[in-house]
Amino acid sequence: MVTDYKGVTFSFKDQKKARRLKRLKLVLLLIVTAILVFFVMNYIDKKKVQRVENYILAGELHKASSKLEKAESSLLHQRAKKELKALLHLINRDFDGAKKLLDSIGNNSRTVSSQAFLDYFSDNAAYMSLDIYGEYLAKRDPQDSLLFYKAMSKTALLNYRESENTIKKMPPELLKSKEKELAFLHKINKELETGKINYIFDVNGKPAAYYDLAKKKTIPLVAGFSFDEFTKEIRYGIKFFHLTLDIGIQGIIDRIFQQDKGSFIMFNVDDTSIVSAYSQPRNSKFSNSNIVFSEIYEPGSIVKIITMMASLRQPERTIFPFQCTGIWNIGNTYFSDWAIHRNLYSYDEAMASSCNIAFARMGLEAGLPLLKETLSYFYFNAGPLHDLFLTFKTGTFNSTLSSDLQLAELSVGLSHITITTFQSGLLSSIVAQNGSFYSPYLIKNQKNLLDMGFYNHKGELVHSFSDNALYHKVKTAMVAVVEDPYGTGKRAKVDFMRFAMKTGTSGKKDEGFDAIITGFFPAEKPRYAFAFRLEGGGKSELKGAQFVYDILNSFRHMGIK
């Protein structure tokens, strides 16, 4: 076979050319692939940034922080990630940290939805954050629309002159588009010009306190309540608080207290909102404190409500009939009472006479584990409760008692246990609602400068142990405190309404006994729960009962019954 190469041209140059072309195609393919990969990665990373944004704007800050931390490993969109990190710092009120991050960014990122965050800070009255973020944006990309946000933040930060000067710089079209919003700012600026501004209101919309610009403090328009915790919030920009407090009721309590010292609280049992919270401390050291929420003390006999519950929770156990001799030998130590109550035939009689011996016996028979569990249902050893930036302290008890005598003392509230007036009122509120109640609160809602509500309290339903029959027995026993001829609360009885209460006396004789009372009314269908402590008020069945009588009669004139 003969191969004919005629007409075939072969050259090493052609071969090199083919190889170069092949390499060029490969390089082009790699470049195109790299570009595609870059765009895909850029798209994915941008989506991650947007996801973090969405979490922040939805208030899911933990998720936002976690997603941002994972996204930071990519070198793409670093400016956007720094900006988002700074925004998280702003929301958490870490302003110095936010400023450092924002200062380290060159041009602001086009990836972050800055308008959405401006509106977020504006809507939620985060005016310090709005001011810092607005300045950051204005330095890098000045826009007329930013003037509106600047004017708003300056008003909120009490710089009303700069706010008005900023408004003057706005172009006509912006003034027209923000006419309604600017009307609110003008009104507030005008009020600030007087040197004060009403920013806290009671449940009926009446001013409860104003901020004094010269003194840099909140001045109460209602007696017996300190607004110092609210003043602390003003450093972040002024906003308007609407409380559940009723100025009219607060005024009644103030008049009844007169020269007395102590604290008082009243709840609306339907939603456990605080209707009145009054403090008039004996110790001048706490003159600007809401001791109604913070001062702990020995509760005395009001603990017997819980001891009775623990006793009733035992299956088919009772101490009645019971003979009180006024003294009981426990572990070779005498445990005594104010009086000899002789024969007691029921829980009602024991509660009415507040017999220490009977309740000590109940506590010992119930045992420490059951008593501890029952105390925990009423927030003992549970830590404080909170309402936004407000703290409501609760009491504690010694859960490691070592003797029957100590358990007896705990059962009648004479030792090993503390309480606050807030918790004392909550105790009656829980009983009044048969154990199912809402988390207590004072701040009903907040509004921003444009009169838009950005916070409304959402009640959280809380369940204690559920046993309506048990609660009914405790309520009946608390009514007996008032209606029984031998009841310690008989002097509080009024002729227009039945109510329930429990008296308690604690402290030392040489310092003056404290009168402590907790209760609720009306008895049949409770609307309000209350508690108070009269420091140095003596035995609760005397001045304490008179105090309740005066309160209820005053409420009657207001139509509260």
What would the pLDDT profile of 301-331 be if each residue is shown by its tens digit?
Answer: 999 999 999 999 987 777 889 999 888 888 8
**Per the domain annotation, does 2 fall within a domain?**
no
Identify whether 189 is part of a domain.
Answer: no
Instruction: Tokens for 159, please give them.
Output: 């710089």
Whether 241 and 206 have beta carbons less than 8 Å apart is answered as: no
255 lies in the same domain as 396: yes
Please give the structure tokens belonging to residue 336: 């005594």
Contact 160, 189 (CB under 8 A): yes
pLDDT value of residue 12: 59
User: What is residue 174's three-state secondary structure?
Assistant: helix
Mean pLDDT of the chain: 90
Residues 6+ apart with CB under 8 A from 406: 398, 415, 416
- CA-nearest of 364, 357, 339 to 487 is 339
What is the domain count for the chain?
3
Confidence of residue 7 (pLDDT cuts 50, 70, 90): low
Whether 367 is in a domain gets the answer yes
* Together in a domain, 201 and 272: no
Residues 311 and 370 in one domain: yes
More confident site: 419 or 108: 419
Q: Partners of 419 in the beta sheet? A: 297
Decide if pLDDT at 479 tops 80.
yes
CB count within 10 Å of CB 471 equals: 21
- Give the three-state DSSP class for 14: helix
Q: What is the 3-state secondary structure (H, E, C) of 475-532?
A: HHHHHHHHHCCCCCCHHHCCCCCCCEEEEEEECCCCCCCEEEEEEEECCCCCCEEEEE
Pairwise CA distance, residues 245 & 235, whole Å: 24
Q: Once rounded to an integer, what is the mean pLDDT over residues 27-44? A: 63
Whole domain around residue 282: which residue ranges? Answer: 250-557
Shared domain check, 342 and 215: no
| pLDDT at 35 > cutoff 90 | no
Distance CA 291, CA 295 (A): 5
Per-residue CA distances from 512 to 208, 285, 503, 540, 541 (Å): 34, 19, 16, 12, 15
Q: Are residues 340 and 228 located together in one domain of the fold?
A: no
pLDDT for res 39: 57
Per-residue model confidence (pLDDT) at position 478: 98
* Predicted pLDDT at 42: 55
Q: Is residue 45 part of a domain?
A: yes
Question: In terms of domains, do 203 and 307 share one?
Answer: no
Whether 361 is covered by a domain: the verdict is: yes
| CA gap 502, 247 in Å, rounded | 26
pLDDT at 289 over 80: yes
- Domain-located, residue 3: no
Taking residues 19-24, report their average pLDDT: 77
CA 518, CA 425: separation in Å to the nearest integer?
A: 6
- Name which of 242, 151, 239 is nearest 457 in CA terms: 242
For residue 526, cis peptide bond before it (omega within 30 degrees of 0): no
Q: Which of 560, 428, 425 is nearest to 494 (CA)?
A: 560
Task: Over range 392-410, report the average pLDDT.
Answer: 95
Residue 430 lies in a domain: yes
Lowest-confidence region among 17-21, 235-239, 342-346: 17-21
Least confident of 39-43, 129-133, 376-380: 39-43
Mark whether 392 and 463 lie in a shared domain: yes
Give the pLDDT confidence of 195-229 residue by residue, as tens digits.
999 999 999 999 999 999 999 999 999 999 999 99
The mean per-residue pLDDT over the stretch 233-242 comes to 96
Q: Does one domain contain both 236 and 268?
A: no
Residue 239 pLDDT exceeds 70: yes
Task: State whether residue 445 is helix, strand or coil.
Answer: strand
Q: How confident is the model at residue 33 (pLDDT cuts 50, 70, 90)?
A: low
Using CA atoms, how far apart are residues 284 and 166, in angstroms rounded to an integer?
46
Pairwise pLDDT comparison (256 vs 38), residue with the higher score: 256
Do the Cβ atoms of 426 and 268 come closer than 8 Å? no
The sign one gets for the Cα dihedral 253, 255, 256, 259 is positive
Contact assessment for residue 293 and residue 309, using Cβ atoms and an 8 Å cutoff: no
Grade residue 510 by pLDDT with cuts at 50, 70 and 90: confident
For residues 123 and 67, state if they share a domain: yes
For residues 130 and 470, give the distance between their C-alpha atoms in angstroms, rounded to a whole number: 54
In a domain, 10, yes or no: no
Whether the per-residue pLDDT at 43 is higher than 60: the answer is no
254 and 235 in a common domain: no
Whether 452 shows a pLDDT value over 90: the answer reads yes
Residues 6+ apart with CB under 8 A from 322: 343, 344, 345, 350, 355, 357, 358, 361
Residue range 278-304: mean pLDDT, rounded: 90
Tell me, yes or no, whether 112 and 215 share the same domain: no
Residue 491 belongs to a domain with what CATH number? Answer: 3.40.710.10
Residues 232 and 326 placed together within one structural domain of the fold? no
Q: What is the pLDDT of residues 327-359, one digit of tens each?
A: 888 888 888 888 888 899 999 999 999 999 999
Cβ pair 273, 437 in contact under 8 A? no
What value does the mean pLDDT take over residues 510-535? 94
Cβ pair 494, 549 in contact under 8 A: yes
Question: Where a domain ends, among 242, 274, 298?
Answer: 242
Alpha helices per DSSP H over 141-284 = 145-156, 160-168, 172-177, 179-193, 228-234, 247-257
φ/ψ of 454, rounded to 5, equals -115, -5
Using CA atoms, how far residue 193 sits from 158, 196, 532, in Å, is 9, 7, 41
pLDDT band of 4, cuts 50, 70, 90: low
- 187 pLDDT exceeds 70? yes
Q: 440-459: b or e for each residue (b if 16 or more CB lie within 10 Å)? A: bbbbbebbbbbeeeebebee
Considering Cα of 282, then 242, then 384, then 65, what sign does the dihedral take? negative
Strands 322-324 and 342-344: antiparallel
Asked which of 185, 210, 242 is the last residue of a domain, the reply is 242
